[in-house]
């Protein structure tokens, strides 16, 4: 089962937090395509432009509410009022460098916000599954040439990574203390670095490249040798949906799952940018060998064998194809093609890969 099952998702009531973000907007589009009834809970989009607005995602939701998950009462009222069967929690402060500038906001959103979402599920008899998305950066990264698996030690030097590691403890606590006893099956998902059309976030590799090259500027790269498990955004989203199905049918353990590419698709920043230049045919780059800015891990690899063995999950696009598809999305959007059409085309083509 390497793709979500439309017959499962049809008419399912799905509460999605973070639906105005990059991954959340893509998830809403996919859930709508699968026939689910989606209620979105999130802050207003934090980028301009945003995929949420460009693809008119709000119109695909049964409800779309702008609520800060740090607001416990508003979050609980929204969730309990919608009475979801499945909860997908994607809302977060997702940026490492932003977490250095705003550590208190990062911990409040990522940790306390997760508490608020989970607490709203207590004694809610409609909900059966809660999938909580964290990150591949939850591991105590010793920067060794070995992929991290789900039983490795949690940690985090920067505020973002530490906040997400703390989320894992919160998830485990609520599952073991409250939710399992009432029949709610809870798991967490840890995904590698994602790329894809419609991401306009700051301090992200491909969006930074697209902005620079579209404006005729030189792209400045601060850590060209950093290695990450790059993947197209649809890859982990497929994993999240498959995991939620597995939890519903009790095929999946209520544990953490990694979703990342094969080892060979873990690549340096430099190699990703050079691939993007080959695909786009343009783009000046200046690489900086010296370390600039606050600490970020230089090496991060992810082992996804548990998801492959337990869920039938597999990556469907290699790194080169992921970069090609992403650059193609931005190029066509800049030429005037509608963002919704571009996303629907990518979804159709992704789900058609043998």
Element (H, E) at 38: strand 37-42
How do beta strands 285-287 and 185-191 pair?
unpaired
Q: What is the pLDDT of residue 293?
A: 66
Supply the pLDDT for residue 107.
98
Long-range contacts of 140-146 (CB under 8 A, 24+ apart): 140/165, 141/297, 141/299, 141/300, 143/297, 143/298, 143/299, 143/300, 144/299, 145/299, 145/301, 146/301
Dihedral sign of CA atoms 24, 339, 32, 205 in order: negative
pLDDT at 295: 66
Site of tokens 């119109």: 59
Please tell me the predicted confidence (pLDDT) of residue 292. Answer: 62
Strands (E) across 114-172 are located at: 129-133
* Alpha carbons 52 and 56: distance in angstroms, whole number: 6
Tens-of-pLDDT digits for all 354 residues of the chain?
Answer: 589 999 999 999 999 999 999 999 999 999 999 999 999 999 999 999 999 999 999 999 999 999 999 999 999 999 999 999 999 999 999 999 999 999 999 999 999 999 999 999 999 999 999 999 999 999 999 888 889 999 999 999 999 999 999 999 999 999 999 999 999 999 999 998 999 999 999 889 999 999 999 999 999 998 899 999 999 999 999 999 999 999 999 989 999 999 999 988 889 999 999 999 998 877 899 998 766 667 677 889 999 999 999 999 999 999 999 999 999 999 999 999 999 999 999 999 999 998
- pLDDT of amino acid 81: 98
What is the C-alpha separation between 38 and 96, in angstroms, rounded? 29
Residue 170 in tokens: 């919160």
CATH top class, domain 10-351: alpha beta
Any residues with CB less than 8 A from the CB of 218 and at least 6 apart, and which? 212, 284, 285, 286
Report strand pairing: 129-133 vs 185-191: parallel
Q: Are 9 and 35 in contact (CB under 8 A)?
A: yes
Cis bond before residue 49 (omega within 30° of 0)? yes
83: tokens are 């009475």
Contact (Cβ atoms closer than 8 angstroms) between residue 269 and residue 230: no
What is the H or E stretch that residue 267 is in? strand 266-268
Q: Where are the domains of the chain?
A: 10-351
Quote the tokens at residue 288: 């900086």
In total, the chain counts a number of residues equal to 354
Q: Please, are residues 21 and 93 in contact by the beta-carbon 8 Å criterion?
A: no
């Amino acid at each position: 089962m390497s793709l979500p099952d439309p017959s499962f998702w049809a008419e399912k009531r799905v509460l999605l937090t973070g639906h105005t973000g990059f991954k959340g907007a893509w998830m809403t589009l996919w859930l709508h395509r699968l026939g689910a009834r989606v209620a979105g809970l999130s802050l207003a989009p934090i980028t301009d432009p945003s995929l949420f607005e460009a693809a008119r995602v709000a119109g695909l939701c049964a409800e779309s509410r702008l609520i800060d998950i740090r607001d416990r009462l508003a979050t609980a009222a929204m969730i309990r009022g919608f009475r979801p069967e499945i909860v997908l929690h994607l809302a977060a402060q997702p940026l490492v460098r932003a977490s250095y500038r705003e550590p208190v906001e990062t911990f409040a959103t990522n940790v306390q916000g997760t508490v608020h979402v989970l607490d709203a599920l207590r004694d809610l008899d409609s909900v059966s599954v809660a999938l909580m998305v964290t990150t591949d950066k939850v591991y105590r990264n010793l920067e060794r040439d070995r992929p991290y698996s789900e039983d490795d030690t949690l940690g985090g030097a920067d505020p973002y990574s530490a906040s997400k590691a703390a989320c894992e403890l919160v998830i485990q606590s609520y599952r073991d203390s409250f939710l399992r006893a009432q029949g709610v099956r809870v798991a967490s998902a840890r995904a590698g670095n994602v790329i894809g059309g419609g991401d306009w976030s700051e301090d992200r590799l491909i969006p930074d490249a697209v902005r620079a090259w579209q404006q005729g500027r030189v792209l400045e790269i601060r850590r060209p040798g950093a290695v990450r498990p790059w993947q197209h955004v649809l890859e982990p989203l497929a994993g999240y949906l498959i995991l939620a199905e597995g939890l519903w049918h009790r095929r999946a353990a209520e544990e953490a799952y990694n979703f990342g590419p094969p080892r060979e698709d873990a690549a340096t920043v430099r190699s990703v940018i050079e691939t993007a230049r080959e695909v786009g045919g343009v783009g000046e780059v200046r690489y900086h060998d010296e370390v600039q800015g606050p600490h970020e891990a230089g090496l991060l690899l992810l082992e996804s064998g548990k998801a492959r063995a337990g869920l039938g999950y597999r990556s469907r696009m290699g790194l080169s194809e992921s970069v090609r598809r992403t650059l193609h999305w931005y190029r066509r959007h800049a030429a005037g093609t509608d963002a919704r059409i571009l996303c629907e085309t990518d979804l159709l083509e992704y789900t058609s890969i043998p």
